[in-house]
Amino acid sequence: MTNSTTPCPCGSQQDFEQCCRPLLMGEKLATTAQALMRSRYSAFVTGNVDHLINTLHPAKRQPQDEALLTETLKNTRWLGLKIRTLEQGLEGDERGSVEFVATWAEAGESGFLHERSRFLKQDGHWYYVDGTLYNTDGKTIDKPGRSDPCG
């Protein structure tokens, strides 16, 4: 009998059971900003809204987060994650940033999300705070507000 493994959606080249699953299930805390970034991406892929909300900085949470995330996850298929750069965010740090590009498909269209995400560590927990978005030319763009149209 062979032991099958499932690659982690985060692109780490590790098995999902050993990589992001323990973080998504709340069995383990992310030890670095990059680990949290990867687990949040995996949460988007697997539809784990609770993990996305629980790892969002408490000061950034909004009452409509669950409904918005649930709707987004219904319609978007995440296709891949590439980490581009890291600044701080190691085990002994209290802040860090992770620049990444994530590809997606939705309603016959595809595209990418290029963001430099900011993370803070409080009471031993890493949290996503916010991010700066980049366009195809690598220039920053304003992030749409919660009520603004995406396009």
Q: Is residue 77 part of a domain?
A: yes
Per-residue pLDDT at 149 exceeds 70: no
Q: What's the chain's length in residues?
A: 151
Per-residue pLDDT at 138 exceeds 90: no
Number of domains in the chain: 1
Q: Is residue 63 part of a domain?
A: yes
Nearest by Cα to 36 from 12, 4, 1: 12
Q: Is residue 8 part of a domain?
A: no
Q: What is the spatial distance between Cα 109 and Cα 88, in angstroms, rounded to a whole number?
A: 35
The stretches of the chain forming alpha helices (DSSP H) are: 21-24, 33-46, 49-54, 65-75
Q: Is residue 46 part of a domain?
A: yes
Q: Is residue 71 part of a domain?
A: yes
Look up the CATH number of the domain holding residue 83.
3.10.450.50
Q: Is residue 1 part of a domain?
A: no
Note down the domain range covering 65: 21-141
The pTM (predicted TM-score) of the whole model is 0.88
27-73 pLDDT tens trace: 999 999 999 999 999 999 999 999 999 999 999 999 999 999 999 89
Q: Is residue 146 part of a domain?
A: no
